[in-house]
Structures are given as structure tokens and as C-alpha cells.
Structure 1
Amino acid sequence: MPRTSATAAANAPASFEQAMQELEQLVAQMEAGELPLEASVAAYKRGSELVKFCAAQLDKVDSQVKVLEGEMLKPFSADPGTGEDD
């Protein structure tokens, strides 16, 4: 049966950090060979969901981190003292 958006939302991590922690745990288990085949496939699918969630969160933050310079909206620079574009 296809997964509904309500089911996907219920499985969504509460935060980027929580998703990364769960992803690290899944990778460690898979690399250690601790999971049987079916569990490995399920872990891979969950890992894919977590990667998509993290990428979406990073894209969201990237679009929010902008600085208005004069009349031009530019990406935020981590080193504002140089005044040079990277």
C-alpha cells in the first residue's frame, strides 16, 4: 500500500540534528553488518528519506540566509570584513 503524506509526516524527524543522528546510526549499523537483508533494505529506504529531509532543510536555510546590500539581495558572507566576493 502506498505511503500517505500523513504517514510520511509522522515519520519526519523533529529537526535537522535529529535526522543526522538517526542517519549516522543507520550507517553505522549497515557498515557493521548488524542488520539482516530485509532490515538493511528498510534502513536504506529510511536513510534515503532522511537525506532528502536534510537536503530540504539545508535548501530552506540557504534561501533564508540572505543579506540586503543596498538594493541588491546577496548571499550571506561568512567573512564580512573582506568585502570581496568568493
Structure 2
Amino acid sequence: MSKKLIAEPAAAPASFEEAMAELAQLVTQMESGQLPLEASVAAYARGSELVKYCAGQLDKVESQVKILEGDMLKPFADAGEVQP
């Protein structure tokens, strides 16, 4: 009977910035077209985990900003736009 190796889940990133850097590296590797099929699938799965982590971190920060701004987010003005 053959045993399948089950990959252990990769550790959670230490920070949002670390997750973004790892995600950028994965995208570069995948876009190069040099990864074998199994490695591409693993890279895609890890990338998906990193995207979920980053989205969660952004949601947390957005919640904190809403609290700090009294639940009234202000629209971001373009550099050329004059605010009243």
C-alpha cells in the first residue's frame, strides 16, 4: 500500500508585509512557467491562504479606523483634487 505525503500547513505569516512579499514571490514563480504541476498547485494553495490572511488583516485595520473615525470613513481625495 502506498502512502501519500500530506503537506503540513505552512506557518502563518508574521505580518501583512511578510505575507505580501511571499505572495509576490509566489506570483513571480508561477508566472515564470518553470514550476512543475504539483508545485504550481501548492503555490496556488499557499497564495490563496496568503490572500485570505491579508484580507483578514485589512478588515481588522478597517474596523480600527472606523472606530477611530467615529464610524465615518472619509473618502480618499486624489492628489489633484481640492478638498473644501
Interval containing the TM-score (normalised by the shorter chain): 0.7 to 0.9
Query: Is 1:19 matched up with 2:19?
Result: yes
Identity %: 62
Q: TM-score, length-normalised on structure 2?
A: 0.73
Gaps of 5+ in 1: none
Quick one: distance in 1 between partners of 2:74 and 2:26?
Answer: 33
Query: Is 1:62 matched up with 2:62?
Result: yes
Q: Comparing both structures, which one devotes a greater share of its residues to strand? A: 1
SS at match of 1:14: coil
- 1:22 maps to amino acid: E
Number of matched residues?
74
What is the Cα-based RMSD across aligned positions, in Å?
Answer: 2.7
Gaps of 5+ in 2: none
Once the 2 structures are TM-superposed, how far is the Cα of residue 74 of structure 1 from its aligned partner? 1.4
Q: TM-score, length-normalised on structure 1?
A: 0.71
**Segments of 4+ moved more than 4 angstroms:** 76-79
Equivalent pair of 1:65/1:76 in contact (CA under 8 Å): no
Quick one: distance in 1 between partners of 2:39 and 2:58?
Answer: 28
